[in-house]
A and B are shown apart, each in its own frame.
Chain A
């Protein structure tokens, strides 16, 4: 049993209250599971500052500020190497765990890479070896570390992986930050600073573990593609088979969790150019088991249930917001819920809302 909650705002005047509203929903959802919890927040300026990319990780061995320095130096090295050139060795001071297998990298966005360091246009574009560190901001939010920098998300993610090979990326993108961990949801919400967050969309999950261990890596949401986010109540029964198929295609996994397989599957479909709706319909055809899924991207919010639809789901909609929850009672703190259109999603019907 797990609890799901999501809020998609239509009225921007509610955006400053996103975190507070989502926290209320998540803490009520704790009744369906208190092993672990997590949130995905879209559009909070502190988590995803405009003009920057954000990568969140769990399991970082270093405090976020320290890790940020290391990531920044790796980004600076990268921006200094021209495509096709061998990678520049990292400074001797860097931990031995840093890997160097990535050869040529696409240059970071011109004018953004150097950030506050004043290094000017990206060295990658000019061929000049610029060794200044790109400015990477890092902060810890409980078991999650959040890194932001004015480079492409892919570039930042690569640097984070190099700098912190033990850590697991929980999100990468320009709109989304995923914070999660093990423990009691209300306590976790405090470590995330959830109540003070703003944004246009958020998803939350409270976990009662069934398919894999109670670990930070086994907690939801799963975000394995840029600004994509999935939370799941239920259990996939053929996830091991699909995991092997995806692995055969070269897709790597971070956890033993069944939901990660669903998230990787959807990410692959989206990468192939499918819409969110098409991706979820493909998931319905391929996956067996019980599921109510809430899937979000930078501009969409979607819900789907399996054919049997045992796992609960309720949707409420007003002119100001769309909300989804495992149980109606999570929604009682939302403004105007008394007059919301409340309904249960039909089995194997994909419901999507676009921004």
Chain B
């Protein structure tokens, strides 16, 4: 390990049980420090590319913990992870943070820019602050939790992931969402669920307006059950019975001759 550390310039802890398997592959500078199994990466010292290369180099199944300091709103932080890592980002993240995530748990202690967890496949992304537009865009799986507000187009083209927004969500959220669940504990902006497919939407607060083909639907016991599970998974204690459910009226699924003049 000493040789590897010397080669890579990484300061490592001496705990005998600290995971060492990935050290050789971590292309980080001297500022990356490993203590008690946690790799600390200071982005004031190394580049985002170095950070992401280290995260990508983790072997399948690695549960290594990373702590990222001074993110300074940089883009593509912790994007493209494939292993079940535990990554904590201390500060604001830029665009596409934790994009394409698979298996990892990424927590952002700050705000996230455009497209956080976009195209996530699995795992969990938790934004402690607000998220900008297109949060969770096209995400196929996993859970995205936003404690604060989400900007416009949250969950646009959602393909199976779950999103829980603690605050409000901006206009055109769940636009063309195909599968998955979007939970909004605050208010929803204009045109919620426009051109929606089979994603389900739960809103606790006021909906500014519903988009084309999005309608309010009955809350049946199975919906209250799934909502309750989602809220619990997001670490929230909101009362599921305070929410309304919205879904697709399915009138845009097939061409209707009455709409011919619109084309």
B residues within 8 A CB of A344? Answer: 130, 132-133, 151
- CA of A314 to CA of B111, assembled, Å: 11
Cross-chain contact A328 with B113 (CB below 8 angstroms): yes
Q: Is the CB of B94 within 8 A of A347?
A: no
Q: Mask for B13-42, Cβ within 8 A of A = 1, else 0?
A: 000000000000000000000000000000
> Could you tell me if B132 and A342 are in contact, using CB atoms closer than 8 angstroms?
no
Scan residues 304-326 of chain A and give those whose CB is less than 8 A from a CB of chain B: 308-310, 312, 314
Say yes or no: is A331 at the interface (Cβ < 8 Å to chain B): yes
A349 to chain B, nearest CB (A): 12
Task: Scan residues 141-163 of chain B and give those whose CB is less than 8 A from a CB of chain A.
Answer: 151-152
Residue contact B113 to A342, C-beta cutoff 8 Å: no
Chain B hits for A332, CB < 8 A: 72-73
A269 within 8 A of B: no
Residues of B within 8 A of A330 (CB): 73
The smallest C-beta distance from B92 to any residue of chain A, in angstroms, reads 5
| Bound Cα distance from A32 to B225, whole angstroms | 45
Question: Does B245 sit at the interface, judged by CB under 8 A?
Answer: no
B74 at the interface (CB under 8 A from A): yes
Q: In the complex, are the beta carbons of B133 and A309 less than 8 A apart?
A: yes
Cβ-defined contact, B94 with A329, below 8 A: yes
A328 and B130 contact, CB distance less than 8 A: no
Q: How many residues of B contact A (CB 8 A)?
A: 19
Mark out the residues of chain B between 54 and 87 whose CB falls within 8 Å of any chain A CB in the assembled complex. 72-75
Residues of B within 8 A of A308 (CB): 152
Min CB distance A24 to B, Å, is: 12
Determine whether the beta carbon of A328 is less than 8 Å from that of B111. yes
Which one, A312, A327, A343, contacts B130 given CB within 8 A?
A343
Q: How far is the CA of A259 from the CA of B64 in the complex (A)?
A: 50
A307 to chain B, nearest CB (A): 8
Q: Does B119 contact A (CB under 8 A)?
A: no
B114 interface residue per 8 A CB criterion: yes
CA distance A343 to B111 in the complex (A): 9
Are B171 and A328 in contact, with the CB atoms below 8 A?
Answer: no
Q: Are A329 and B73 in contact (CB under 8 A)?
A: yes
Q: Indicate if the CB atoms of A328 and B73 lie closer than 8 Å.
A: yes
Assuming the A-B contacts A329-B73, A329-B74, A344-B132, are A312 and B114 also in contact, with contact meaning beta carbons closer than 8 angstroms in the complex? yes
Looking at the complex, which one of A314, A329, A342 makes contact with B72 (CB distance below 8 Å)?
A329
Nearest B residue to A325 by beta-carbon distance? B73
In whole angstroms, what is the CA distance A343 to B131 when docked? Answer: 10
Interchain CA distance A346-B130 in the complex, whole Å: 14
| Chain A residue at minimum C-beta to C-beta distance from B131 | A344
Interface size class of A (residues with CB under 8 A): 10 to 19
Chain B residues whose C-beta falls within 8 Å of the C-beta of A338 in the assembled complex = 91
B132 in contact with A331 (CB, 8 Å):
no
| Residue in B72, B91, B92, B152 whose beta carbon sits within 8 Å of that of A347 in the complex | B152
B95 contacts the other chain (CB 8 A): yes
- Determine whether the beta carbon of A327 is less than 8 Å from that of B72: no
**Alpha-carbon separation in the docked complex, A324 to B172 (Å):** 24
In the complex, which residues of chain A have a beta carbon less than 8 angstroms from the beta carbon of B129? 342
Question: Taking A327-B113, A328-B73, A332-B72 as contacts, is the C-beta distance between A342 and B92 under 8 angstroms?
Answer: yes
> In the complex, A314→B73 CA distance in Å?
12
B171 and A347 contact, CB distance less than 8 A: yes
CA of A342 to CA of B111 in the docked complex: distance in angstroms? 8
Q: Choose among A314, A328, A342 the residue with the greatest number of B CB atoms under 10 Å from its CB.
A: A328
CA distance A353 to B114 in the complex (A): 26
B94 near A327 with CB under 8 A, answer yes
Chain B residues within 8 Å of A312, by CB? 113-114, 132-133
**Docked pose: A332 CA to B110 CA in angstroms:** 13
CB distance from A305 to the nearest CB of B (A): 10
Query: Please, how many angstroms separate the alpha-carbon atoms of A332 and B111 in the complex?
Result: 13
B92 touches A328 (CB 8 A): yes
Min CB distance B94 to A, Å, is 5
Identify A331's interface contact among B73, B74, B114, B151, CB under 8 A: B73
Chain A residues with Cβ under 8 A from B91's Cβ?
Answer: 338
Return B133 CB to nearest CB of chain A, in Å: 7
Q: A342-B92, A344-B132 are in contact. Are A327 and B73 (CB under 8 A)?
A: yes
- Contact residues in A for B114 (Cβ distance below 8 Å): 312
Query: Cβ of B132: which chain A residues have Cβ within 8 Å of it?
Result: 312, 314, 344
Q: How far is the CA of A328 from the CA of B170 in the complex (A)?
A: 19
**For residue A346, which residues in chain B have a CB less than 8 angstroms away from its CB?**
170
Smallest CB–CB gap between B262 and chain A, Å?
20
What is the minimal beta-carbon distance from A218 to any residue of chain B, in angstroms?
27
Shortest Cβ distance from A31 into B: residue: B75
Contact with B along A124-154 (1 / 0, CB 8 A): 0000000000000000000000000000000
Task: Give complex CA distance A290, B91 in Å.
Answer: 30
Complex: how many Å from CA A342 to CA B128? 13
B151 contact set on A, CB distance < 8 A: 309, 344
Complex CA gap A347/B133 in Å reads 12
Chain B residues closer than 8 Å to A310, beta-carbon distance: 133
Encode A83-120 as 1/0 by CB contact (under 8 A) with B: 00000000000000000000000000000000000000
Residues of A whose CB lies within 8 Å of any CB of B are 308-310, 312, 314, 327-332, 338, 342-344, 346-347
Chain B residues in contact with chain A, CB under 8 A?
Answer: 72-75, 91-92, 94-95, 111, 113-114, 129-130, 132-133, 151-152, 170-171
Besides the known contacts A329-B73, A344-B132, A347-B171, 7 further A-B residue pairs in the complex with CB atoms under 8 A apart: A309-B151, A312-B114, A327-B75, A327-B113, A328-B111, A329-B72, A329-B94
Closest A-B pairs by Cβ, 9 of them: A329-B73, A328-B73, A332-B72, A328-B92, A309-B152, A329-B94, A344-B151, A329-B72, A332-B73
